[in-house]
């Protein structure tokens, strides 16, 4: 089943609430969408709802940001899948909590599903001046 929600930035709580209601405590969430579609913005709103005070920015230059209390944010735009695996970064996914991934590829997703992780995909598409969020469990 794919859930579809259309939301402006001010309406993002509808997406955050849906995720909080349907996503287990430990999950890997792929954020799929073009440049500037709103992946980091959604991550920031989820963090805020979790009571995380730190500013959420794109972790492009560090691959991963850990916001404590089981909330992780990755930007894999600049790294090849093979490099990610060689660095052993996939071991991070064993940590309890939500792992938000920007620019994660299908190869990584297939690997994680094969390894038994609970994987979700949020596909973000521009829709007039809002965004459409398609949320599915893989
Ligand atoms: N639901 C929304 N409705 C309208 N505008 C939005 C929405 N979500 C995000 N935006 C706007 O889209 C722009 C890009 O957002 P953001 O940086 O989150 O994108 P991104 O997908 O993380 O980009 P990148 O691929 O470069 O990391 C920002 O100006 C933000 O305000
Ligand atoms: Mg981003």
Domain parsing of the chain, residue ranges: 2-137
Instruction: Say what the pTM is.
Output: 0.95
Asked whether 36 lines ligand 1 (CB < 6 A), one says yes
What is the pLDDT, as a whole number, of residue 59?
A: 63
pLDDT in tens, 66-80: 887 799 999 999 889
Q: Extract the tokens encoding 88.
A: 């052993």
Pocket mutation for ligand 1, best pick of 14, 36, 79, 129 (most atoms within 8 Å of C-beta): 36
Phi, psi (deg, nearest 5) at residue 107: -65, -45
Asked whether 8 lines ligand 1 (CB < 6 A), one says yes
CATH superfamily of 2-137: P-loop containing nucleotide triphosphate hydrolases (3.40.50.300)
Q: Extract the tokens encoding 107.
A: 């190869």
Q: Extract the tokens encoding 84.
A: 């990610």
Residue 61 confidence class, pLDDT cut points 50, 70, 90: low
Q: Name the percent of the chain lying above pLDDT 90.
A: 79
Point out the ligand nearest to the CA of residue 44: 1
């Amino acid at each position: 089943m794919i859930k579809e929600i259309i939301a402006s930035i001010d309406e993002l709580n509808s997406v955050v609430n849906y995720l909080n209601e349907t996503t287990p405590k430990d999950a890997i969430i792929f954020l799929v969408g073009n440049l500037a579609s709103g992946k980091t913005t959604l991550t920031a709103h989820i963090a805020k709802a979790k009571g995380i005070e730190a500013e959420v920015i794109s972790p492009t230059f560090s691959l991963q940001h850990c916001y404590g209390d089981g909330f992780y944010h990755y930007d894999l735009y600049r790294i090849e899948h093979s490099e990610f695996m060689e660095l052993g970064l996939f071991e991070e996914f064993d940590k309890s909590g939500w792992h938000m991934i920007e620019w994660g590829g299908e190869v990584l997703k297939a690997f994680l599903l094969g390894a038994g992780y609970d994987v979700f995909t949020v596909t973000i598409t521009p829709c007039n001046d809002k965004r459409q969020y398609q949320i599915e469990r893989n």
